């Protein structure tokens, strides 16, 4: 897409590429500030929105802003890979998060019913025990990778256990989830796309087979709850739809929370004074997690597409304009938060962030994700009061636009 296709009066930033190594290393260096609330980025063909108020307005108006592009690949997918994806049941709008009403509600309602506060609360002892077991394995090692030891396995184990996946299959599911981030939010090279598509098709098939197995032998898990809803009224929730819900949860409940734990620990350890505050006052931990979601969210970008001509941030946009909702920039908007560039453990209302979206698609797993991050930090603070970042480590991030957290975070259990 070229600059000539952009809406009149909209600034164009030829240099903005959210998949460039410089941007991935430090997206905050590129924040445009209040003078540039909207611009067109030819590198991805999206209008970038940066203000809290505009992004919130988009989330709140699903009639004017469709979710259809939420997981649309950023590059053309080659026909062979498309064929494999379609044959594997992966449609262009592949799950709940990219559906509009009424199709969205068909999946969201039963998923929300099954994903009840009761189920989430029942997970607390499981999350605590899993975090403890994972950190027992670290023991008194002086230096370890926080992501490999805790931030990655904790949410994966929890969401798979919640869904009812047998423990021996966790590793396979984790492996498949990585392909999803590359397809929907990265820039996969044509030569890699067939492999990615084959893995996603296998992932779909696995979940569809799991649903059949759970029909034969229901368990006390979320898949079992969904099957109970299906039995009440088979037309309201089909078995294919249950597999689709599990597809949404398995991915959404995993990468997002790994990133949240990694980002929270990174930000707390960046200033040893913050860690000392957390150790002395563990009641600050929920605040620390919310402040991280504002300051350095693990889902820094979400997407929408206009369904009619609209005016946004003073620019007239046509129908079909694709929007890059820069949630990380909204968290740093000085019209919404005082001193937004400062990580403040004592900030009033950091939870006003938009890191979980808003409105009809508001994150279904927000409470679970929060709980996991809070328990992870609490367990770390209890065991390692003198925890530090290992010095001089360059951080790396998976090359995609929407899921962000350090891939490795080396920490020292004592200075």
Q: Which of 343, 248, 335 is nearest to 293 (CA)?
A: 343
Does 413 interact with ligand HEM (rule: CB under 6 A)? no
- Cα–Cα dist 236/109, whole Å: 10
Closest CA relative to residue 280, chosen from 413, 381, 411, 373: 381
- For position 173 contacting ligand HEM by CB under 6 A, the verdict is no
Pick the stretch among 9-17, 135-143, 244-252, 270-278 that binds ligand HEM (CB under 6 A): 244-252
Return the residue of 74, 196, 249, 377 that touches ligand HEM, per CB under 6 A.
249
Which residue lies nearer to ligand HEM by CB, 7 or 120?
120
Query: Is residue 159 at the binding interface for ligand HEM, with CB under 6 A as the rule?
Result: yes
How many binding residues for ligand HEM (CB under 6 A)?
29
For residue 233, what are its two tokens? 């009224």
Cβ atoms 38, 47 nearer than 8 A: yes
Instruction: State the alpha helices, DSSP H only, in 217-317.
Output: 222-232, 239-252, 255-270, 272-280, 285-295
Residue list 63-92, contact with ligand HEM (CB under 6 A): 67
The nearer residue to ligand HEM, 6 or 374, going by C-beta atoms, is 374
Stretch that binds ligand HEM, among 7-15, 127-135, 228-236, 355-363 (CB under 6 A): 355-363
Per-residue exposure over 33-54, b if at least 16 CB sit within 10 Å of its own CB, e if not: eeeebbbbbbbbebbbbbbbeb
> Do the bridges between strand 301-306 and strand 65-66 make them parallel or antiparallel, or are there none, so unpaired?
antiparallel
If the CB atoms of residues 88 and 297 are measured against ligand HEM, the closer one turns out to be 297
Among 188, 253, 340, 350, binds ligand HEM (CB under 6 A): 253
E strand or H helix at 128: helix 124-138
Binding mask 87-106 toward ligand HEM (x if CB under 6 A, else -) reads ---------xx---------
CB nearer to ligand HEM: pick between 199 and 244:
244
DSSP3 helix / strand / coil % (the chain, rounded to 5): 55, 10, 40
Hey, is 112 helix, strand or coil?
helix
From 6, 71, 248, 306, residue interacting with ligand HEM (rule: CB under 6 A): 248
* By the rule CB under 6 A, 260 interacts with ligand HEM: yes
Contact residues toward ligand HEM (CB under 6 A) are 59, 67, 96-97, 108, 159, 248-249, 252-253, 256-257, 260, 297-299, 302, 355-359, 361-365, 368-369
């Amino acid at each position: 897409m070229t600059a000539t296709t952009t809406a009149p009066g909209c600034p164009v930033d030829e240099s903005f590429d959210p998949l460039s190594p410089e941007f991935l290393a430090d997206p905050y260096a590129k924040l445009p500030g209040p003078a540039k609330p909207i611009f067109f980025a030819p590198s991805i063909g999206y209008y970038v929105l940066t203000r809290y108020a505009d992004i919130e307005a988009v989330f709140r108006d699903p009639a004017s802003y469709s979710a259809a592009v939420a997981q649309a690949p950023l590059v053309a997918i080659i026909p062979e890979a498309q064929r494999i994806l379609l044959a594997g049941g992966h449609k262009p709008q592949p799950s709940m998060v990219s559906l509009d009403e009424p199709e969205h509600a068909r999946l969201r309602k039963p998923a929300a019913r099954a994903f009840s506060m009761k189920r989430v609360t029942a997970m607390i002892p499981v999350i605590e025990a899993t975090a403890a077991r994972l950190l027992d394995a670290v023991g008194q090692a002086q230096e370890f990778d926080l992501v490999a030891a805790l931030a990655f396995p904790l949410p994966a184990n929890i969401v798979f256990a919640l869904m009812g996946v047998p423990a021996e299959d966790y590793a396979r599911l984790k492996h498949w989830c990585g392909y999803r981030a590359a397809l929907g939010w990265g820039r996969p090279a044509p030569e890699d796309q067939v492999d990615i598509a084959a893995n996603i098709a296998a992932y779909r098939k696995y979940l569809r087979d799991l649903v059949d197995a759970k029909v034969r032998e229901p368990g006390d898990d979320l898949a079992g709850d969904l099957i109970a809803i299906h039995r009440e009224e088979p037309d309201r929730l089909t078995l294919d739809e249950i597999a689709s819900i599990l597809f949404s949860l398995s991915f959404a409940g995993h990468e997002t929370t790994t990133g949240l734990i990694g980002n929270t620990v990174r930000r707390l350890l960046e200033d040893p004074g913050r860690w000392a505050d957390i150790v002395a006052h563990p009641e600050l931990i929920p605040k620390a997690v919310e402040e991280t979601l504002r300051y350095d969210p693990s889902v820094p970008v979400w997407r929408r597409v206009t369904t009619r001509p609209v005016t946004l941030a003073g620019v007239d946009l046509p129908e079909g304009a694709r929007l890059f909702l820069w949630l990380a920039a909204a968290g740093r908007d000085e019209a919404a938060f005082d001193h937004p560039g400062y990580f403040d453990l004592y900030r009033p209302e950091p939870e006003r962030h938009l890191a979980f979206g808003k409105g009809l698609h508001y994150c279904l797993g927000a409470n679970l994700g929060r709980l996991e991050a809070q328990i992870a930090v609490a367990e770390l603070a209890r065991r390692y009061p003198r925890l530090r970042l290992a010095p001089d480590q360059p951080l790396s991030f998976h090359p995609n636009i929407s899921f962000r957290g350090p891939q490795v975070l080396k920490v020292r259990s004592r200075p």
